Amino acid sequence: MSEELKKVRSVLAEAQNYHHACAVLNFDQETICPTKGVQEQGEVNAYLSNQAFKLLKDPAFEAAAEAAYAQRAEFDEVDRTLVSDLHKRYLHTKNVSPELDHEFSLIYNKAFVDWLGAREASDYSMFEEALTGVRDVCVKEVGLRAEDADFPKAADLYDNLLDDYETGITTADLDMIFGRCKERLLPLLKKIVASPKKIRTDFLSVRASDAQQREMADWLLHVLDYDFSRGGWTTTEHPFTSTLGKNDIRVTTHFYPDMFYASMYSIIHECGHALFDQLTPIRHHESYIGDCKTMGMHESVSRFYENRIGRSEAFIHLIYPKVCEVFPQVMEGVSERELYEAMNLVEPSLIRTEADELTYTIHIIIRYEIEKEFIAGRVSAAELPALWRAKYKEYLGVEPQTDREGILQDVHWTFGFGYFPTYAIGNFYNAMYYNRLVKELDLDSIVAAGDFKTLNAWMSENVFAKADLQTPKEWIKGITGRSLTPDDFLDYLEEKYSRLYGL
């Protein structure tokens, strides 16, 4: 190891301590922190994050990191990834002082606090100013970025934000991909809505206690082979996964008394994220590249477990006896087939996190189209609720009556823009590698038997192993031999739901 790389690792180890502390505070802030303590907690988090930022802005560290980057051809794949990632971060923050970084952090924290209050009151006006502030920070931050031949800035402002979450993906890619989705999904949705097939749903709103939902969520995590020696779980308003360290990867869910299944599928979704990080090669964590995987990669895995596995006939067969045992008042007189159909109900709705797998992509397209316009300055924050309602009416035929069930439902805009498209991209990725997986494993038999060690081992070897080391386009081509396409996903939806609804 070169002297420069040794210096880099030494500083990163110290910075990691601050990042770990920030992750703990953030987890606390979103789970059990009292309402009046949220802002103070966020301010402490911003302070600690800024201490880590200062370490990485130290001229001696920057010099060592840049020297190591110049030597990257001499390093192995892991260390080459590390110094390349550091060089990209250096360009992004070269013109950002520690004082300005702290200022940005406080703006994001205020946006989160204001969003919480606005959501509670269902009053968008309480969040509008803060949202404009987040947009302004994003614009300013991109404007301050440096560039070079290896990492040029995109001409389009929003493309730079997309690249932060999904390297190499542009608005040109998304406009084409989402255009194809609308061409095929909107007509399919109309056929389903018009279908005479009626799926039984009366039992879905039967009340279930928190204790029942807690028992079911815990059982599901065990079934999926989540490593409890390296993780834990609790409840929150908006479910998420937090990787505090290589041996501390936590998940959350939310209990709705009249939607027993919501906590089941959110815990499966978050477990997918956790498995990705738990099964990431340990050296990646120890070499500070464990978070180089993109959000599209991550969402592909979480939605693979949630939908391709969790809503399959084989998985419903596996869990049906347990669901009947834990929720007897819900499942009285409900057959396994009726549970399967209900878990795959297609119905235009207002809430993204509770949307079925067909309409979910439409929820994402709506957010993409809105934030693209907002970032470009073509619409103001004041105009967003009306635009939101209009797009929901046009694409899904439903219209929110309150801000809480409309524009205030998601936390994501409190920390920036460009994240939402990764959810849909994740669906496209997992449909592609699913088609390889079923050629190599008898997936239905494995899932029906609850043999998730076998499934997770395949995922670890073929999907997880290279995720930190490759760009998304390199990664999906390495797994499947093909470039990113929505067609596998769209073919799957058309086949599955035409069969389910007798189209």
Q: pLDDT of 122-163, one tens digit each?
A: 999 999 999 999 999 999 999 999 999 999 999 999 999 999
Residue 354: pLDDT over 90: no
- pLDDT (mean) for 464-493: 97
- pLDDT (mean) for 210-215: 98
**Structural tokens at position 88:** 């990209």
Sign of the alpha-carbon torsion through 60, 23, 352, 435: positive
Give residue 5's pLDDT: 95
Contact indicator for 223, 450 with CB cutoff of 8 Å: yes
Closest CA to 249 of 280, 216, 284: 280
Sign of the alpha-carbon torsion through 321, 323, 326, 330: negative
Q: Any catalytic annotation for residue 270?
A: yes
- pLDDT (mean) for 414-438: 96
**Using CA atoms, how far apart are residues 391 and 372, in angstroms rounded to an integer?**
14
Give residue 237's pLDDT: 85
pLDDT tier at 415, thresholds 50, 70, 90: very high
- pLDDT (mean) for 19-45: 92
Predicted TM-score (pTM) of the model is 0.92
Q: Which of 4, 30, 128, 270 is catalytic?
A: 270
- pLDDT (mean) for 407-436: 96
Q: Which domains does the chain have, with CATH numbers?
A: 3-153 (no CATH), 171-501 (1.10.1370.30)
- On average, the pLDDT of the chain sits at 96
Give residue 266's pLDDT: 95
Tell me the percentage of the chain whose pLDDT exceeds 90: 97
Give residue 446's pLDDT: 98
- 94 Cβ contact partners less than 8 Å away, ≥ 6 residues apart: 144, 145, 146
- 457 Cβ contact partners less than 8 Å away, ≥ 6 residues apart: none
Give residue 234's pLDDT: 96
Residue 238: pLDDT over 90: no
Contact indicator for 174, 420 with CB cutoff of 8 Å: no
Give residue 123's pLDDT: 98
DSSP 208-271: --HHHHHHHHHHHHHHTT--GGG--EEE-SS--EEEEETTEEEEEE---TT-HHHHHHHHHHHH
- pLDDT (mean) for 69-94: 96
pLDDT tier at 1, thresholds 50, 70, 90: low
